């Protein structure tokens, strides 16, 4: 379970105190500086995903006078967009995995591979196991966390078992490779996939993944069933594809909310039924990334309950509780009573990163940036043979009463020609300096 920022910082103090009381060498509460203080104003961006990478690259373009540091825990960038097709070798790995150091060199910022453990907002320090980095401006682009605690409480054995044996592959990193291997070796039986309750990252992507897996079973003649447990409403397009093309491969269960999971005995229960599975993709509820909880930047609803997502200004993306901190990407909380959250998409995260770069560049000069809203484009494949694609576009405007309004349009394309790869390539060119 998440500890609060205060608990975490107190924890560091307690560690130091216990170490000295048993005669161990003195441990100071302030770890060493990882970087010397800069003469220039420093922006630290935590999280090298779609939002953080975009922000770092655009900061270097729009404010070359600032010192920019990107901190990321993974050794390489893994793209979630395109990853479903990659599971079935429909996309080459060179589109999926990219080098952080090459991007940092191309744009001229400092890249640190490190997991940030805490933010000391009072002293403006980013804290890692190896030491601290000071900042004038902070960008937190840490994506989501998967709330296994909702299923297992603090049973770390069950959490580890579910995470490692039945990974969701819903966050950037090696889980995608684990899932790819599983699918390649699956010989038959019941493969279970539950969807998390809304809101979650990239809502159409689990359905796309279900179609992909069903198509793999069908085309490889695997005697397998994919059991899809869904607590949310499904789109008519996917309902049609599941029922018409994959009726022998997919068992789709609507109104299926998970009530218990036993990963050791491969059992999952909903309010109505207990399912046994041979293999699974287990997807717990999603929330804002861990660090935002430790930094004390999670929002509350009107009844005072945690929203599970960050609290920020919907236009400047400044954290509601800290004017030196900006928030980007899927971790954001609701932005409008008219539609709730911005789409939790890579495209939207990247546009928010660019907007935040403009905000910080202006504020560092003592100016104010003009308001700008993000947009989102998303390519979804309801089926793979023959390929069918839908482009989903979302646009935003501020209405006369000050509320943000969303216009969403879908463009079905029964004859696609790698438009998704072209889109991703142009995004990677923009924030990873990707060259083909």
Which residue in 116, 125, 195, 288 binds ligand FAD (CB under 6 A)? 116
Please state, in angstroms and rounded to a whole number, the distance separating the CA atoms of residues 133 and 273.
51
Give min distance, CB of 397 to ligand FAD, in A. Answer: 20
Please state, in angstroms and rounded to a whole number, the distance separating the CA atoms of residues 162 and 225.
20
95 CB neighbour count, 10 Å cutoff: 20
Residue nearest ligand FAD, Cβ-based: 49
Give min distance, CB of 145 to ligand FAD, in A. Answer: 8
Please state, in angstroms and rounded to a whole number, the distance separating the CA atoms of residues 137 and 41.
8
**For residue 263, what are the contacts with CB-CB under 8 A and spacing of at least 6?**
158, 161, 162, 165, 166, 282
- Total residues interacting with ligand FAD, rule: CB under 6 A: 37
Query: Any contact of residue 121 with ligand FAD (CB under 6 A)?
Result: no
Which region holds residue 124: left if phi is over 0, alpha if psi is between -120 and 50, else beta? left
Stretch that binds ligand FAD, among 41-49, 155-163, 279-287, 297-305 (CB under 6 A): 41-49
Q: Which of 195, 120, 147 is nearest to 307 (CA)?
A: 147
Backbone angles phi, psi at 259, to 5 degrees: -110, -25
Per-residue interface string for the shown chain with ligand FAD, residues 360-389, x marking contact by CB under 6 A: ------------------xx----------
Which 3 state secondary structure label does DSSP give 116?
Answer: strand
Query: Any contact of residue 180 with ligand FAD (CB under 6 A)?
Result: no
Per-residue interface string for the shown chain with ligand FAD, residues 262-291, x marking contact by CB under 6 A: ---------------------------x-x
Residues within window 68-97 making contact with ligand FAD, judged by CB under 6 A: 71-74, 80-81, 83-84
Q: Which of 147, 120, 125 is nearest to 136 (CA)?
A: 125
Give min distance, CB of 126 to ligand FAD, in A. Answer: 9
Which residue in 42, 182, 225, 344 binds ligand FAD (CB under 6 A)? 344
Query: Any contact of residue 51 with ligand FAD (CB under 6 A)?
Result: yes
Q: Structure tokens of 279?
A: 């293999």
Query: Any contact of residue 294 with ligand FAD (CB under 6 A)?
Result: no
Query: Any contact of residue 347 with ligand FAD (CB under 6 A)?
Result: yes
Stretch that binds ligand FAD, among 22-30, 103-111, 146-154, 200-208 (CB under 6 A): 200-208
How far is Cα of residue 257 from the mean position of the Cα atoms in its chain? Answer: 22
Which residue in 59, 60, 111, 172 binds ligand FAD (CB under 6 A)? 172
Give min distance, CB of 34 to ligand FAD, in A. Answer: 13
- Strand arrangement, sheet containing 279-281: 250-253, 223-229, 188-194, 279-281
Query: Any contact of residue 42 with ligand FAD (CB under 6 A)?
Result: no
Q: Which of 210, 195, 346, 206 is nearest to 285 (CA)?
A: 195
Give min distance, CB of 432 to ligand FAD, in A. Answer: 12
> Judging by beta carbons within 10 Å of its beta carbon (0-12, 13-18, 19+), is residue 378 exposed, middle or buried?
buried
Stretch that binds ligand FAD, among 34-42, 168-176, 307-315, 428-436 (CB under 6 A): 168-176
Give the number of residues written for the chain: 436
Per-residue interface string for the shown chain with ligand FAD, residues 229-268, x marking contact by CB under 6 A: ----------------------------------------
Query: Any contact of residue 226 with ligand FAD (CB under 6 A)?
Result: no
Which residue in 44, 91, 103, 141 binds ligand FAD (CB under 6 A)? 141
Query: Any contact of residue 111 with ligand FAD (CB under 6 A)?
Result: no
- Evaluate whether 253 touches 277 at the Cβ level (below 8 Å): no
**For residue 313, what are the contacts with CB-CB under 8 A and spacing of at least 6?**
320
**Greatest C-alpha distance within the chain:** 71
Residue number, 64 or 340, with CB nearest to ligand FAD: 340
How far is Cα of residue 320 from the mean position of the Cα atoms in its chain? Answer: 21
284 secondary structure, DSSP code: -
Where does this chain bind ligand FAD (CB under 6 A)? 46-52, 71-74, 80-81, 83-84, 115-116, 141-143, 170-172, 201-202, 205, 289, 291, 329-330, 344-347, 349, 378-379
């Amino acid at each position: 379970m998440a500890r609060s920022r205060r608990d975490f910082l107190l924890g560091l103090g307690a560690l130091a105190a216990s170490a000295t009381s048993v005669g161990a060498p003195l441990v100071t509460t302030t770890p060493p500086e990882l970087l010397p203080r800069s003469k220039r104003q420093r922006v630290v961006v935590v999280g090298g995903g779609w939002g953080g990478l975009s922000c770092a690259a655009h900061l270097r373009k729009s404010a070359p006078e600032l010192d920019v540091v990107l901190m990321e825990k993974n050794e390489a960038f893994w793209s979630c967009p395109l990853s479903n097709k990659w599971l079935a070798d429909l996309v080459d790995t060179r589109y999926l995995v990219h080098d952080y150091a090459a991007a940092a060199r191309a744009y001229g910022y400092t890249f640190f591979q490190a997991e940030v453990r805490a933010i000391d907002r009072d002293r403006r320090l980013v804290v890692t196991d190896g030491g601290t980095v000071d900042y004038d401006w902070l960008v937190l682009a840490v994506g989501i966390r998967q709330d296994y605690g909702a299923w297992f409480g603090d049973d770390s054995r069950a959490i580890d078992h579910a995470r490692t044996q039945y990974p969701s592959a819903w966050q950037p990193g090696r889980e995608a490779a684990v899932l790819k291997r599983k699918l390649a070796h699956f010989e038959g039986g019941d493969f279970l996939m539950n969807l998390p309750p809304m809101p979650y990252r990239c809502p159409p992507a689990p359905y796309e993944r279900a179609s992909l897996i069903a198509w793999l079973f069908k085309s490889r003649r695997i005697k397998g069933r994919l059991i899809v447990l869904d607590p949310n409403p499904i789109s008519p397009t996917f309902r049609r594809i599941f029922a018409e093309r994959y009726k022998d491969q997919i068992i789709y269960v609507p109104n299926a909310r998970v009530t218990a999971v036993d990963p050791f005995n491969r059992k999952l229960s909903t309010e109505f039924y207990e399912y046994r599975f041979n293999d699974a993709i287990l997807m717990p509820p999603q929330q804002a990334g861990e660090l935002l909880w430790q930094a004390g930047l999670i929002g509350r609803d009107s009844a005072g309950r945690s929203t599970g997502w960050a609290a920020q200004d919907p236009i400047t993306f400044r954290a509601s509780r800290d004017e030196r901190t900006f928030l980007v990407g899927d971790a954001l909380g609701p932005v409008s009573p008219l539609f709730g959250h911005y789409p939790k998409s890579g495209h939207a995260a990247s546009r928010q990163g660019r907007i935040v770069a403009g905000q910080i560049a202006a504020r560092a000069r003592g100016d104010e940036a003009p308001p700008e809203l993000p947009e989102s484009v998303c390519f979804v494949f309801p089926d793979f043979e023959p390929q069918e694609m839908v482009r989903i576009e979302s646009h935003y405007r501020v209405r006369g009463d000050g509320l943000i309004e969303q216009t969403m349009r879908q463009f079905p394309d029964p004859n696609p020609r790698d438009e998704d790869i072209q889109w991703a390539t142009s995004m990677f060119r923009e924030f990873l300096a990707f060259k083909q």
